Amino acid sequence: MRTLIYGSLLALLAAGATPALGEGFDVVTLGARGGIQDGNLSAFMIAPHGDGRAVTCDAGALVNGLRVADERGVFDAVTLPADSPYNRVGHVLTQQIKGYLISHAHLDHIAGLIVASPDDSAKPIYGLASVNERIERTYFNWDAWPNFGDRGKAPQLGKYAYRDLAAGQPAELTGTGMAVTAFPLSHGGTESTAFLIESGDDALLCFGDTGPDEVERSTKLDDIWAAVSSKVREGRLKAILIEVSYANAQPDKQLFGHLTPAWLLKSLRALEEKAGKASLKDLPVLISHIKYSLKKGPPPQEEILKELQADNNLGVRFIVPEQGDHWHF
């Protein structure tokens, strides 16, 4: 439901209003696609409802995603301080976004962060230790890019502070009023992450790339469903953001650690079994990371949504976001 005028909520915060706990989350799509569509790669800006202090779940697109959202009016009511050197996009990037949750270090999940880093403000990068180590080693190493981190090859510029998350252990998201719990995912041989973001009694679950348990020969998805089933049962899980990279025609041996509509629906049925019959009815499930196609014909997101809806006996509310879309869940 697109009931959110996001900028007005930021204005309320700037005016001294205190957001109430238990009112869900505001979500802005900074990057909707996976794969090759540069400038529109996986990133979601997430804040407690009415509270402009946000984090992003992945950062494949930052400045371009903020620019598109701003052009669509998402930040219209943001009032810049009189002495601010920034335009509105710069203000949101440097002052409203308080940190980055990075699921894994593939470029389509971190490219926006890397290229924005020279003009960004100091803030944490939250990730599993294996993910942060790869960011440090692969990108912020003075070969691919200057070292804006606080670890690794000298000189360390220290703009970004790596915060290693212990799997299954809640951690504070500094300066946001939210907490996060990281859950490892299996992504074709790479460790990826799902983030359970909590504000008061409310929760939102944001997945990085993941393959089906059966194909990955793991129990990662099932373990997450077991961990969140009580929140689903009690209506405290407000939305799930999860990838579906390919339509059902994609063979299992060519999933490369991703999901199809059939595999996602099978996994969600396993969640319903744990949470109780009809527990997923009307639950918003945003479908991220759909691979952009250079081929003729309907865009993949149309086929994927059609396949999801055709076999949806769970009552789930599937949403395929576009860059700049925003919601209150």
Summarised one tens digit per residue, pLDDT across range 170-185 is: 999 999 999 999 999 9
- What is the C-alpha separation between 30 and 281, in angstroms, rounded? 27
The pLDDT of residue 161 is above 90: yes
Summarised one tens digit per residue, pLDDT across range 57-113 is: 999 999 999 999 999 999 998 889 999 999 999 999 999 999 999 999 999 999 999
- What is the C-alpha separation between 128 and 104, in angstroms, rounded? 8
Q: In whole angstroms, how large is the CA radius of gyration of the chain?
A: 19
The pLDDT of residue 22 is above 90: no
- What is the C-alpha separation between 208 and 194, in angstroms, rounded? 6
Residue with tokens 């527990």: 279
- What is the C-alpha separation between 299 and 119, in angstroms, rounded? 34
* pLDDT value of residue 302: 97
* pLDDT value of residue 6: 41
- What is the C-alpha separation between 132 and 18, in angstroms, rounded? 33
Give the global pTM: 0.93
What is the mean pLDDT of the segment spanning 158-172? 98
* pLDDT value of residue 77: 83
Nearest to 248 by CA among 256, 257, 260: 260
Summarised one tens digit per residue, pLDDT across range 27-62 is: 999 999 998 999 999 999 999 998 989 999 999 999
The pLDDT of residue 122 is above 90: yes
Percent of residues, the chain, with pLDDT higher than 70: 93
Q: How much of the chain is in helix, strand and coil states, percent to nearest 5?
A: 30, 25, 45
- What is the C-alpha separation between 36 and 208, in angstroms, rounded? 17
Q: Is there a contact between 63 and 40 (Cβ–Cβ < 8 Å)?
A: no
Q: Is there a contact between 152 and 136 (Cβ–Cβ < 8 Å)?
A: yes
Percent of residues, the chain, with pLDDT higher than 90: 91
pLDDT band at 9 (very low <50, low <70, confident <90, very high): very low
* pLDDT value of residue 13: 39
Q: Is there a contact between 271 and 285 (Cβ–Cβ < 8 Å)?
A: no
144 or 12: whose pLDDT is higher? 144
Q: Please provide the distance, in angstroms rounded to a whole number, between the alpha carbons at the two ends of the chain.
A: 8
Report the SS3 class of residue 97.
strand
- What is the C-alpha separation between 82 and 265, in angstroms, rounded? 50
Q: CA of 153: how far to CAs of 136, 147, 148, in Å?
A: 8, 7, 10
* pLDDT value of residue 7: 43
- What is the C-alpha separation between 67 and 89, in angstroms, rounded? 6
The pLDDT of residue 3 is above 70: no
* pLDDT value of residue 21: 55
Q: Is there a contact between 203 and 250 (Cβ–Cβ < 8 Å)?
A: no
The pLDDT of residue 16 is above 90: no
- What is the C-alpha separation between 249 and 5, in angstroms, rounded? 38
The pLDDT of residue 159 is above 80: yes
Nearest to 212 by CA among 166, 245, 176, 170: 245
The pLDDT of residue 8 is above 70: no
Nearest to 112 by CA among 190, 42, 173, 45: 42
* Per-residue tokens: 179: 């907490």
